[in-house]
Amino acid sequence: MRLDGKVALITGGASGIGLATSRKFVREGAKVVIADINLDQAEAAAAAIAAEGFEGSVAAVRVNVSVFAEVEAAVARAVEVFGKLDVIFNNAGIAGGKPLLEHDPVADYEPIIRVDQDGVYYGILAAGRQFRAQGTGGVIISTSSIYGEQAAELSFTYSAAKAAVISFTRSAAYELAEYGVRAVAITPGRVGTPIINQFSEELKAVFASEQLRNKLTEPEEIANVVAFLASDEANVINGTVVSVDDGYSVFKQRLD
Ligand code: NAD
């Protein structure tokens, strides 16, 4: 019960990493608001977790993280339902990309920047203000990616947005330390969620081979780390990137 008594808002909580993290947080004693653009799926996720013996510990709210007023409203909803906010997990994201010179400069740039970059900025701003108003401190965890630290095929825009998440995390840790707020980014590698599962078995095998255990990471494995980072046990992890990529970033090529 390492999150006993904490209240968390988890964006993109209806699927993949966010869903696994919502379930893990509740099992660790937290109250969770699942915030997602897909309200039906968020409500279904909340109902499923509640039915596992956690009635009253989980709620759902619709949010488009690209709209600041909606992110503010989601924070306000968490406070209304559970009385306060202790943790925000800025995790909603979309992927995709084309070769750079094939880009439509609006369609292949703006949507990803609006969700993956602006959405995290808005989460930090709205939650940061709430933490300051409460005077309780708080934790901001944001999902970057291995692509936030390197160039990769078909990811010009996505890499930029995910790099911004790392920069936001450093600056937020610095600026919000006086309010007792911590900020951490995570960089997942290849995780078995709808973002990856849409690809062919062949491509998924290639993705798996890029990690040291030669398998896709389970969303639950990321959730375990996020729960630790959100807990008081991680109090000295601040302003930094926690790599959750099963060795992807330190390894180049298998010799066999
Ligand atoms: P997913 O598609 O399963 O979950 C993403 C969730 O975000 C969905 O429920 C979706 O409805 C929600 N969402 C999308 N746009 C939104 C918006 N504008 N407002 C609110 N919610 C919105 O994917 P996932 O793999 O669990 O992705 C979670 C995060 O992890 C993303 O930020 C993604 O970029 C990042 N990531 C994933 C991988 C991977 O291999 N799966 C690797 C690195 C980083």
Summarised one tens digit per residue, pLDDT across range 172-224 is 999 999 999 999 999 999 999 999 999 999 999 999 999 999 999 999 999 99
14 CA closest ligand 1 atom index: 9
Q: Helix, strand, coil proportions of the chain in percent (round to 5)?
A: 50, 15, 35
Enumerate residues lining ligand 1, CB below 6 A. 11-12, 14-18, 36-38, 63-66, 91-95, 115, 143, 145, 188, 190-191, 193-196
> Would the pTM of this model clear 0.95, i.e. be above it?
yes
Among 11, 36, 225, residue to substitute to test ligand 1 (most atoms within 8 Å of Cβ)? 36
Among 70, 94, 226, residue to substitute to test ligand 1 (most atoms within 8 Å of Cβ)? 94
Q: Residue 158 catalytic? A: yes
**Interval 53-81 mean pLDDT:** 98
Contact 143, 160 (CB under 8 A): no
Percent of the chain with pLDDT over 90: 97
116 CA closest ligand 1 atom index: 32
Percent of the chain with pLDDT over 70: 98
Confidence band, pLDDT 50/70/90 cuts, at residue 251: confident
* Per-residue confidence (pLDDT) for residue 210, from 0 to 100: 93
SS3 256: coil
**Interval 233-246 mean pLDDT:** 98
Residue nearest to atom 39 of ligand 1 (CA): 191
* Per-residue confidence (pLDDT) for residue 254, from 0 to 100: 62
What does the mean pLDDT of the chain come to?
Answer: 97
The Å distance, Cα 194 to ligand 1 centre, comes to: 8
Distance CA 30, CA 143 (A): 20
The Å distance, Cα 256 to ligand 1 centre, comes to: 33
pLDDT at 256 over 70: no
Residue 218: both structure tokens together: 């389970």
SS3 103: coil
**Nearest CA-CA partner of 196 in 211, 217, 212:** 217
Distance CA 233, CA 126 (A): 25
Residue nearest to atom 3 of ligand 1 (CA): 16
**Nearest CA-CA partner of 65 in 134, 150, 160, 165:** 165
* Per-residue confidence (pLDDT) for residue 191, from 0 to 100: 98
The Å distance, Cα 93 to ligand 1 centre, comes to: 4
The Å distance, Cα 178 to ligand 1 centre, comes to: 31
Summarised one tens digit per residue, pLDDT across range 5-49 is 999 999 999 999 999 999 999 999 999 999 999 999 999 999 999
**Interval 51-75 mean pLDDT:** 98
**Interval 165-175 mean pLDDT:** 98
Confidence band, pLDDT 50/70/90 cuts, at residue 140: very high
Lookup result for tokens 């920047």? 113
Distance CA 186, CA 165 (A): 9
Residue 58: both structure tokens together: 């989980």
Contact 121, 78 (CB under 8 A): no
Active-site position among 158, 174, 179, 248: 158
Among 113, 195, 211, residue to substitute to test ligand 1 (most atoms within 8 Å of Cβ)? 195
Distance CA 130, CA 143 (A): 20
Distance CA 134, CA 61 (A): 22
Confidence band, pLDDT 50/70/90 cuts, at residue 94: very high
The Å distance, Cα 105 to ligand 1 centre, comes to: 22
Distance CA 156, CA 230 (A): 30
SS3 88: strand
